[in-house]
Chains A and B, each alone.
Chain A
Amino acid sequence: MPKCTINGKAIEVKPGTTVIQAFKAAGVEIAHYCWHPGLSVAGVCRLCMVQIEGQAKLQIGCNTLVTEGMVVNNTSEPVKEAVKWGLDFHLINHPLDCPICDQAGECGLQDQYVHFGKYDPEMAMPKQKKHKVVDLGPTIVLDTERCILCSRCVRFTDEVSKTNELGIFNRGDRSEIGTVENKPLDNNYSLNTVDICPVGALTSKDFRFRQRVWYLKEAASVCTGCSTGCNVNVYYNEEGAWRVKPVQNEKVNGYWMCDKGRDIYKFVNKEARLQTAKVGSKDQWRLLEGGQAAKDVGDSLRQVAKTEGADKIALVVTGQYTNEEYDSLLDFFNGTLAVKNVYHWVNNPEDMTGFDGILFRGDRNPNTAGLKARLEKRGLKSDWLDLEKKIKAGAYKYVVVAGPENNSVFPDLESKAKMMSAAPHLVWLTAAKSEAVDSATTATYQIPLKTFIEKDGTYTNHVGLEQKVKRGTTIVAGALTLSEAVSLMSGEELDFSLRPKPLTNLKTNFFTAKRGEL
């Protein structure tokens, strides 16, 4: 284990550690653009300059290994001078129009400029004109003038997604990143290149110019887009959620997440949500408060269980809820009411075990494993095909559905909703509004639930790793968590005065309306 001294701080590192990693380990700031912990070393930005005692020349920290007894600093005058000039070279052709750039506020170049900038540039020549607003594919827009050619995105497509679309073409100050013959950059991991772009060259079509990043708050959460459970930050403000970015977790997702997972912010926003409870059937809906609806449903359910037997009730559950919610749901239905007919609604049985080799899995539920474990523990093994038969035969009076939170991953939603609405009474608990349920012909209760960003809980991913999610914000005030809905059904009273305040800003601005399509 080599020992080294970083800016006067003695630390011990693993053999094979680079100087820049040692700086990170010591918690000392060091300038860098091209180096990324999840990618190979390029050594092109020349900003992670360090002075090593005993060596005449400055070295780049990213490509220098720590050796025993190395004494390194990046605070000496020569280092500061080198970084200042390195930065000035980066800015020769980079436009200095930060106020109109979408990256402003989270830009590596902007941050470094504040620290090390030569505020008076030496370059007298006019800047090179390059391509602006290049449509790089379905998800990304490229501005080649802002690009500083760090090659992170090129290395990403070479090393992580292994799709090799991007390259640096031409040379000298005419160098540009791009794709061969302007083919689209179209893979399920393309938006990671936007995340790792240290400047505003690669921007996400879904997010660019919708919000200023300094107005957004972030909530640490877990992606509910599939059973991998990538760790993410959800960015939100008082108008709702705007984007999702990955957070490093070596055990789960490394530094990345897929493009499909980034869509999960869309279904938590008001436009996609069931906002109040509805009772009635097709075209004749009466609105009522969610809590009241849950109480009414609970009264009827308990009545039916008492007089006609629990066999008259069927419970259908999707893999979209937290472990805590499953526990309270099953405690009430299986425990209190003694319902044995609990069905696991699998959205796409054909490719439930699918996996693309990087992160994305065919099972597009965050908590299939948690649900399966809980059903198994209680010995609940109902065959899905059985449900349709029994509904047709009129065996069930009530079908209670803990439906999908994310409708878009349930391709069979319409047919299944239709099939279930053949029962005399349908209770649909869900966060999402859906036309399929709105056109139900039977007596139906729709009860609004909360999404993953609005509740605390635990998801179990495909390998059985339990990950906690924390409440970030409340978007639909009238929504309940599944546990709250179940408590109300069982006749308990809840003190809603303790609940967090909902978002109050109801204005609909242009950008909210334009927020990524569902």
Chain B
Amino acid sequence: MFSLSEEGVAFVKRELNRYEDRRSAVIPALYRVQKENKGWVSPESVTYLSHLMDIPSAWIEEVLTFYTMFNKRPVGKYHVQVCCNISCSMNGGREMADHLCSTLKLKEDEVSGDGRYTISRVECLGACDKAPMMQVNDDYHEGLTNDKAVEILRGLK
């Protein structure tokens, strides 16, 4: 059964007090859950959150399914988001995503066998000047080539 850490609970309570409408605190709360739940929001964590925040789980689920930045399925230890928007695509972003998948022998949005990686294609991450780029968990890696990207991923601890 999932539950937030003590600091996590305190954080959600603080967010609830910050807004007039309890619903407003759903996004920060979900983001916190995702952080503490290995990068994804599980159905049981939605139930947990609905009890913690005292709002119906349907309201949380609505927000959760609306935003693509919340992961509804488990992700690997390193969630690699490859930008495939215009600038990155023009500079080989799509090919880079394909190359990473075939090198690491996994399909898009799936967790690799060793649980280390998940590769996803995403829309613009706002680093068009350094295209192509990818985001690994919270870190940006810019101005990549296929080999450089593989090297970075292999080099992660």
Give a binary string over A46-71; 1 marks a CB under 8 Å from any B CB, 0 the rest: 00000000000000000000000000
Interface CB pairs A-B, < 8 A, 15: A164-B56, A164-B58, A164-B59, A167-B58, A167-B62, A168-B62, A169-B62, A169-B65, A169-B66, A170-B65, A170-B66, A171-B65, A171-B66, A180-B61, A181-B43
Question: What are the residues of chain A within 8 A of B58 when measuring CB–CB?
Answer: 164-167, 179-180
Name the CB-closest residue of A to B55. Answer: A164
Knowing A180-B46, A181-B43, say if A167 contacts B66 (CB, 8 Å).
no
Residues on B facing A (Cβ under 8 Å): 43, 46, 56-59, 61-62, 65-66
Interface size grouping (class) on chain A = 10 to 19
Question: How would you classify the secondary structure of chain A's contact residues: helix, strand, loop or mixed?
Answer: mixed
Which residues of chain B have C-beta atoms less than 8 A from A168's C-beta? 62
When chains A and B are docked, how far (Å) is the Cα of A168 from the Cα of B61? Answer: 9
CA distance in complex: A158, B57 (Å): 12
* CB neighbours of B59 from chain A (8 A): 164, 167
A88-147 contacts to B, CB under 8 A, are: none
Q: Complex Cα distance A165/B58, Å?
A: 6
Complex: A166 Cα to B58 Cα, angstroms: 6
CA distance A179 to B59 in the complex (A): 10
> Smallest CB–CB gap between A42 and chain B, Å?
14
Bound CA–CA A165/B61 (angstroms): 11
Shortest beta-carbon distance from B53 to chain A in Å: 13
A170 vs B66: C-alpha distance in the bound complex, in angstroms?
5
Among A164, A167, A168, A179, the most chain B Cβ lie within 10 Å of the Cβ of: A167
Q: Which of B43, B46, B66 has the most CB of A within 10 A?
A: B66
Chain A, residues 170-191, CB within 8 Å of chain B (1/0): the string is: 1100000001110000000000
Tell me the nearest residue of chain A to B62, going by C-beta. Answer: A167
> What CA separation (Å) do A180 and B57 show in the bound complex?
7
Cα-based distance from A415 to B75 in the complex (angstroms):
62
List residues of chain B with CB within 8 A of the CB of A165.
58
**A window 149-165: CB within 8 A of B:** 158, 164-165
15 further contact pairs, Cβ within 8 A, besides A158-B56, A164-B56: A164-B58, A164-B59, A166-B58, A167-B59, A167-B61, A167-B62, A169-B61, A169-B62, A170-B65, A170-B66, A171-B66, A179-B58, A180-B57, A180-B58, A181-B43
